[in-house]
């Protein structure tokens, strides 16, 4: 079974390999998407926009917790794929074990820290007198499940790094499926509100994490989480953090952006906070499926970069770029024609629907370009190009977006508030295209060098 995974990465037709790797990852993302929308749907059925606003306000905290898992889901997994491509399987086992135990202790630390600063943090993230209590309920329970949240994100990436995208999908589906089942029970039957949503999330993440742990302890995996393989080294941590920190900074930047957006949105009313929260979940339909496609390509890119099969990497990159762009164009049409209906599906409140639809239609101007951005970002992560990955990621979330947000909001009010993100995304796309041209030229040069080397070898 392990040999079949290696053969898929190394020898299978490129289009076949991309499809086989991407479909399970996209399915896992689709299930995650269903969870996100189901969670929002049942909270919306309470008829209280304040509860939706509360989850929107607390979501950045959840993202900060998940960012820790993302360090290893991207950084360590990129390193593992590359060392496996170089046939260094013992190093891959050590890297996986180091990531596992580091995530565990990091989860303990973040749990304690968030409880200590809970009071001041709730004040900073933009809560009002109407949203402080439901936001606090969600925050408290989500924090208690920090380790499970980190493992759910981090371990799925590590499983994916060895090409086992089907098992990565299964772990996500099991955890999220349980979450979906528990949501209506806790929210509508037991009337637990945001606390019920958080508890369903925590239990689902815990069960998903248990699946991944069982997978690594079985003989199905090439990798290891044995304590005997926990041998921290400078190279493992440096390679993990070189790629993982930019990825975590992306999540952190997104969290900071969401907090600042919510703080500005409060000035327009809690219904704008709620409408923006619904818009984010609806927009995730596009972003998560494209990211699922790109993440399926990630182990292929890392492995072939590590094995110096640059021609396969280039072909896979172009195929993934094409598919992701077509997917983005499809969602552009969906949001353009059905935006109002999509927002209205989740809540029956006229002001919230109007605000959410306006934000969604403004954001839709940049949707066609998301495939380029996300494919480039994941490709740079897979090939160890940390700085380029960080430029793409932080550009749209922080470096370009935040200055535009404050300037346009101050000058144009609500219109500036909603159009800052699409302008930042289009600008980031231009930068991504320029870097992709440079990336392809570099691959061509490296491929020529490899061809020359192979010709000079004795037969």
> In which residue are the tokens 């996209």 written?
26
Is the distance from CB of 435 to CB of 376 less than 8 angstroms?
yes
DSSP characters over 412-435: HTHHHHHHHHHHHHHHHHHHHHHH
CA distance 358 to 365: 12
308: exposed, middle or buried (Cβ count in 10 Å: 0-12, 13-18, 19+): middle
pLDDT, tens only, 63-72: 888 888 888 8
Mean pLDDT of 209-232: 84
CA distance 58 to 306: 40
Mean pLDDT of 204-209: 93
Mean pLDDT of 336-363: 90
CA distance 166 to 173: 10
CA distance 65 to 114: 10
CA distance 346 to 270: 16
Is the distance from CB of 34 to CB of 180 less than 8 angstroms?
yes
Tell me how many domains the chain contains: 1
In this predicted structure, what is the pLDDT of residue 3?
63
Q: Which domain holds residue 359?
A: 2-456
SS3 at position 224 = coil
Nearest to 277 by CA among 46, 69, 119, 43: 43
CA distance 386 to 340: 39
Please tell me the pTM assigned to this model. 0.73
Alpha helices in 345-413 (DSSP H): 350-363, 370-382, 386-394, 401-412
pLDDT, tens only, 407-424: 999 999 999 999 999 999
Mean of per-residue pLDDT scores for the chain: 86
In this predicted structure, what is the pLDDT of residue 94?
87
- The pair of structure tokens assigned to 37 is 């929308």
pLDDT, tens only, 317-348: 999 999 999 999 999 999 999 999 999 888 88
In this predicted structure, what is the pLDDT of residue 388?
83
In the 8-state DSSP scheme, what is residue 12?
A: S
In this predicted structure, what is the pLDDT of residue 1?
41
- Whether the pLDDT of residue 33 is over 60: the answer is yes
């Amino acid at each position: 079974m392990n040999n079949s995974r290696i053969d898929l990465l190394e020898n299978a037709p490129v289009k076949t390999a991309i499809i086989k790797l991407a479909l399970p990852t996209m399915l896992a993302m689709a299930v995650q998407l269903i969870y996100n929308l189901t969670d929002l749907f049942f909270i919306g059925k309470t008829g209280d926009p304040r509860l939706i606003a509360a989850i929107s306000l607390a979501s950045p905290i959840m993202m900060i917790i998940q960012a820790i898992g993302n360090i290893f889901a991207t950084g360590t997994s990129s390193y593992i794929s590359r060392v496996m491509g170089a046939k260094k399987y013992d190093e891959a086992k050590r890297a996986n074990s180091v990531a596992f135990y580091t995530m565990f202790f990091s989860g303990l630390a973040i749990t304690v820290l968030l409880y200590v600063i809970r009071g001041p943090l709730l004040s900073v993230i933009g809560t009002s007198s109407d949203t402080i209590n439901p936001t606090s309920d969600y925050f408290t329970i989500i924090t208690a499940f920090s380790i499970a949240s980190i493992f759910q994100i981090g371990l799925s990436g590590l499983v994916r790094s060895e090409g086992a995208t089907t098992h990565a999908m299964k772990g996500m589906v099991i955890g999220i499926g349980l979450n979906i089942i528990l949501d209506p029970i806790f929210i509508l039957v037991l009337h637990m509100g945001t606390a019920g949503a958080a508890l369903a999330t925590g239990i689902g993440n815990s069960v998903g994490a248990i699946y991944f742990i069982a997978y690594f302890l079985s003989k199905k995996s090439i990798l290891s989480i044995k304590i005997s393989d926990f041998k921290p080294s400078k190279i493992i941590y440096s390679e993990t953090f070189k790629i993982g920190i930019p990825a975590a900074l992306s999540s952190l930047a997104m969290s900071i952006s969401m907090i600042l957006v919510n703080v500005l949105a409060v000035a327009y009313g809690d219904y704008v906070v709620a409408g923006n929260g619904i818009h984010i979940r609806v927009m995730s339909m596009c972003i998560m499926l494209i990211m699922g496609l790109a993440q399926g390509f990630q182990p292929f890119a890392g492995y072939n970069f590590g094995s110096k099969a640059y021609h396969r990497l280039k072909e896979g990159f172009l195929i993934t770029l094409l598919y992701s762009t077509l997917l983005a164009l499809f969602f552009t049409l969906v949001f353009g024609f059905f935006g109002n209906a999509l927002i209205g599906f989740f809540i029956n409140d006229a002001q919230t629907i109007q605000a959410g639809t306006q934000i969604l239609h403004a954001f839709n101007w940049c949707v066609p370009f998301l495939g380029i951005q996300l494919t480039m970002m994941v490709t740079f992560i897979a090939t160890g190009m940390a700085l380029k990955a960080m430029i793409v990621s932080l550009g749209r979330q922080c470096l370009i977006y935040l200055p535009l947000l404050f300037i346009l909001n101050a000058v144009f009010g609500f219109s500036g508030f909603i159009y800052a993100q699409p302008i930042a995304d289009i600008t980031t796309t231009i930068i991504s295209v320029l870097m992709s041209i440079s990336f392809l030229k570099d691959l061509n040069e490296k491929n020529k060098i490899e061809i020359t080397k192979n010709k000079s070898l004795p037969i």
